[in-house]
Amino acid sequence: MEKRATIKDVAEAAGVGVATVSRVLSGGSASAATRERVLAVAAQLDYRPSALGRNLRQRRTGGMGLLVPDLTDTFYGQLSEGVLACARSAGEPVVIGSTGGDPEQEADLIGMLLEQSVDRLIAVPSGDADTWSPVLRAGMTVVFADRLPLQSSPEDVRAAAVADLMALDGLSAAAPARPLDVPAVVADDRAGIRTAVRYLRGLGHKRIAFLGGPGQDSRVNAFREAVGAPVDEELVVFGTGSRDSAYAAASGLFQSRPDLSAVVAGGNVLGEAAVLAARELDLRVPRDVSLVMYDDVPWAELCSPPLTVIAQPGRDMGYRAAELVLRAGGRRPRSVVLPTELIIRGSCGPHR
């Protein structure tokens, strides 16, 4: 295990200065002869520039961070694959962290990324706007994916505004109307949910329930909007993110409201819970209850009957987010809203 060649080795072997080697390797100006010689020597020595030196010099790590709630959730697996595909084609490293949907773990992981000087981050956020403002102020370029941080409470927003004012050194900036102004790549939850609710309505369903998870505000809101006032709040229930709590929520819902005839699950883990709970309670899908699940995952087709889903492009979402965070050349990239698609399979039937 001989140690790696350094830029100095290459410089000496090529009879030039280290600066010249650096220039040649990063596409700077150099005479054709020099360039050729340096390249040859570098190849011959199997020289690989060390990211360590470069990073320290530039005071930043290349690549990007990626924070997701849970890699056993297939949707986040898809999203991550998208991010990794983009990063790979750019030759950039990705430092990943799984937050478990817990703001504290998320904060810890952010701290770790800061320590590593990773200054670009793609995150499916779990903490609220307050936990994220400091990150932005620390100079991180972040792109949210799948969802946005919860809005902070009014007093928190006020506090943040004051902090912002105090932070204004010489830099003039437009006063932020909202505390968080970060690009994001998300699915068109509003349209997706609306389409699903309309579809169920069209089948004659009146009592439609929503089974949500943490961070699914936009889907819940979309649901409330789609069913229209008055919303039967008992039909809107939440799990905390774990499979167990999702199951408990689903089971509780079915038992407390046997009059419901359809449910919209806000994500694939919730859909899974709904199928399980329904079976446990001897409710047949779709005879006794119709089911639409957010997320198209491979196993949706394996269910009996196959699940009707609101598909969102997880992989694209990740890929686009990675593109945004890489391209962010100082300028704030625009947010992206990706379309959803209602894929009708067999889990919804007419209301009876």
Partner DNA sequence: TTGAAAGCGCTAACAT
Partner DNA sequence: ATGTTAGCGCTTTCAA
**Contacting a second copy (CB under 8 A), which of 19, 40, 71, 168?**
71
Binding DNA by CB under 7 A: which of 29, 170, 175, 178? 29
Which of 185, 193, 275, 325 binds a second copy (CB under 8 A)? It is 275
Our finding on whether 9 is near a second copy (CB under 8 A) is no
Q: Is 159 in a helix, a strand, or coil?
A: helix
CB of 83 to DNA, least distance (A): 24
Is residue 60 a contact residue for DNA (CB under 7 A)? no
In the list 16, 148, 226, 289, the residue contacting DNA (rule: CB under 7 A) is 16
Q: Taking CB under 8 A as the rule, does residue 287 contact a second copy?
A: no
| Residue 268: other Cβ atoms inside 10 A | 23
Phi then psi for residue 66, to 5 deg, are: -140, 120
* DSSP assignment letter at 299: G
Q: Which is nearer to a second copy, 229 or 302 (CB)?
A: 302
In which element (H, E) is residue 86 found? helix 74-90
Residue 28 CA: distances (Å) to CA of 21, 50, 91:
9, 18, 20
Q: What is the DSSP string of 173-231?
A: -PPPSSS----EEEE-HHHHHHHHHHHHHHTT---EEEEE-TT-HHHHHHHHHHH-SSP
Distance CA 248, CA 251 (A): 5
Q: Look at residue 126 and give its three-state secondary structure.
A: coil
Site for a second copy (CB under 8 A): which residue of 9, 25, 35, 81?
Answer: 81
34 binds, among DNA, a second copy, none (CB under 5 to 8 A by kind): DNA
Q: Which does 44 bind (CB under 5 to 8 A by kind): a second copy, DNA, none?
A: none
Q: How far apart are CA 133 and CA 154, in angstroms?
A: 15
- Binds a second copy (CB under 8 A): choice among 27, 32, 33, 91: 91
- Work out whether 42 is an interface residue with DNA (CB under 7 A): no
User: How many positions of this chain bind DNA (CB under 7 A)?
Assistant: 32
Neighbouring C-alpha atoms within 13 Å toward the C-beta of 124: 28
Contacts to DNA by CB under 7 A: 3-4, 6-8, 15-23, 25-26, 28-31, 33-35, 49-50, 52-54, 56-59
- Residues of this chain that interact with a second copy (CB under 8 A) are 1-2, 48-53, 55-56, 59, 61, 63, 66, 70-74, 77-78, 80-81, 84-85, 88, 91, 93-98, 105, 108-109, 111-117, 137-139, 167, 169, 243, 269, 272, 275-276, 297-299, 301-304
